[in-house]
Amino acid sequence: MKNLFCALALLLFVTMADAQTGIQFTHGTWSEVLEQAEASGKLIFVDAYTTWCGPCKKMSREVFPDEKVGAFFNEHFINVKMDMERGEGVELAQRYNVRAYPTLLFLDADGQVVHRAVGYRDTDDFLALGQEALDPERRLGALDARYARGERDPEFLYKYLLAKANAYDPAATELLDVYLNTQDDWSTRRNMEVILRFGKRLNGQAFRYLMDHLDAFEDTFGARAVRQHLEMAVQESMANGYVSEFGEVERVLREVHGEGADELVERYRMNYLLYQNRLDEYRRVAADYMRRFKPRDPELLNNVAWAYYLHEDDPALLRQALKWARKSVKLDEAYYNTDTVAALYFKLGKLKQARKWAEKAIALAKASDQDYTSTAELLEKITQAR
């Protein structure tokens, strides 16, 4: 019996060890984490995530449990998972300017950021990121210091630009200009790549160069890739307040799309007015757009319906938004638009329909492994209102 007990204990130990081959995340307060880093001499790795972030879940499911990742990160870092919308995570998100997810932070024992990146990383890229964080010459904090000291070597600026961009640092936009001003020939493939990747300010010199040499960029990278970049640049410029008037956006769209730009111009005009919080104009343009173009893009229909849900109280306008949301569902039934239908029914006081659609949205979210916290909260409000 004793031997059997030992064998079972050994089997349990081996099973538990196998289950813990990935990253071991520490638990405790942030001050305790800093103390642990001070005592161990290790850097701190923080997976700054939210519950609704799909790429965050993908890393937790596919990357963090990897044996090689676990061995490396457990040896070299104090590892922390922190929800940026709960508890201490809210204050840390503000302190470290976390705006996109996942943000992967590396800090010293004083809580100073030495390296960071944003977005999903596969196993190899994540290991490479950890190695960069350990190297004083390669991590972002060291690059910041070299730049502050006045280093302007073109190769250094190129590496610094990539590091800033990987961290989603807005300073990358200005840094692109600094780098390009060291280049005699902007038409090399590497320089065209950085212009295409980072030249997103419509009034910037890099974007103007791209527009002036559009044919060359399309020949090198393909028309589809270039047009996707241009539309992303337009969207980011509007969202970040880089556009002083919509005419700048319209000029770009018409230059690229010619006579076929009318529908796209009006779609972007809606977004621009929404970013500017010019709601009366947005309502007029959105209604006109829907009437003229009769869109069948489920995401666009849902986005407009959701904007009405957020900003309108007039039952007639909410009923119109509900029609658009229902049309979105008919084209592509998914969590994102069934949730909108539920929210609109609730705002209209139709509690029975709101409950039905909220439950459907939650079922769809569970089936596709999406976070449905906000819908569960809506369902609780529906229950309380009955």
pLDDT tens digit string along 319-328? Answer: 999 999 999 9
> Quick check: 3 pLDDT over 60?
no
Percent of the chain with pLDDT over 90: 71
Between 189-198 and 223-239, two packed helices, what is the crossing angle to 10 degrees? Answer: 40
Q: How far apart, in whole angstroms, are the C-alpha atoms of residue 103 and residue 113?
A: 12
pLDDT for 13? 41
Q: Tokens at residue 278, please? A: 């010019």
> Quick check: 6 pLDDT over 60?
no
Q: Which of 46, 56, 264, 270 is catalytic?
A: 56
Q: Which of 43, 53, 273, 325 is catalytic?
A: 53
> Quick check: 331 pLDDT over 50?
yes
* Backbone angle region of 176, left / alpha / beta, with phi > 0 → left and psi within -120 to 50 → alpha: alpha
Using pLDDT thresholds of 50, 70 and 90, give the confidence band for residue 185.
Answer: very high
Q: How far apart, in whole angstroms, are the C-alpha atoms of residue 143 and residue 138?
A: 7
pLDDT for 136? 87
Q: How far apart, in whole angstroms, are the C-alpha atoms of residue 47 and residue 328?
A: 34
28 phi/psi in degrees, rounded to 5:
150, 175
Mean pLDDT of 157-162: 93
Total number of residues shown for the chain: 386
Supply the pTM of this predicted model: 0.71
DSSP state of 85: T
The DSSP H or E segment spanning 103 is strand 103-107
DSSP state of 25: B
Is residue 56 among the annotated active site residues? yes
Q: How far apart, in whole angstroms, are the C-alpha atoms of residue 107 and residue 116?
A: 9
Q: Tokens at residue 2, please? A: 């004793």
Q: How far apart, in whole angstroms, are the C-alpha atoms of residue 230 and residue 175?
A: 20
Q: What is the CA radius of gyration of the chain?
A: 25
Residue type, 83: D
Is residue 6 among the annotated active site residues? no
> Quick check: 16 pLDDT over 70?
no
pLDDT for 5? 44
pLDDT for 371? 77
pLDDT for 20? 57
Count other Cβ atoms within 10 Å, centred on residue 119.
15
46 phi/psi in degrees, rounded to 5:
-120, 120
Using pLDDT thresholds of 50, 70 and 90, give the confidence band for residue 181.
Answer: very high
Query: For 206-215, what is each residue's pLDDT tens digit?
Result: 999 999 999 9
Please give the residue that has the higher pLDDT: either 12 or 156.
Answer: 156
Contact 243, 272 (CB under 8 A): yes
Q: Tokens at residue 49, please? A: 């995530």
Percent of the chain with pLDDT over 70: 95
Nearest to residue 250, comparing CAs of 240, 241, 238, 239? 238
Contact 179, 206 (CB under 8 A): no
Q: How far apart, in whole angstroms, are the C-alpha atoms of residue 322 and residue 301?
A: 10
> Quick check: 113 pLDDT over 50?
yes
Mean pLDDT of 40-52: 93
pLDDT for 152? 95
pLDDT for 243? 85
pLDDT for 4? 43
The mean pLDDT value of the chain amounts to 90
Beta partners for 49? 83
Mean pLDDT of 124-128: 94
> Quick check: 42 pLDDT over 90?
yes
> Quick check: 378 pLDDT over 50?
yes
pLDDT for 39? 95
Using pLDDT thresholds of 50, 70 and 90, give the confidence band for residue 18.
Answer: very low
Lowest mean pLDDT among 188-192, 228-232, 269-273, 325-329: 228-232
Query: For 238-279, what is each residue's pLDDT tens digit?
Result: 887 888 899 999 999 998 888 889 999 999 999 999 999 999
Query: For 336-360, what is each residue's pLDDT tens digit?
Result: 999 999 999 999 999 999 999 999 9
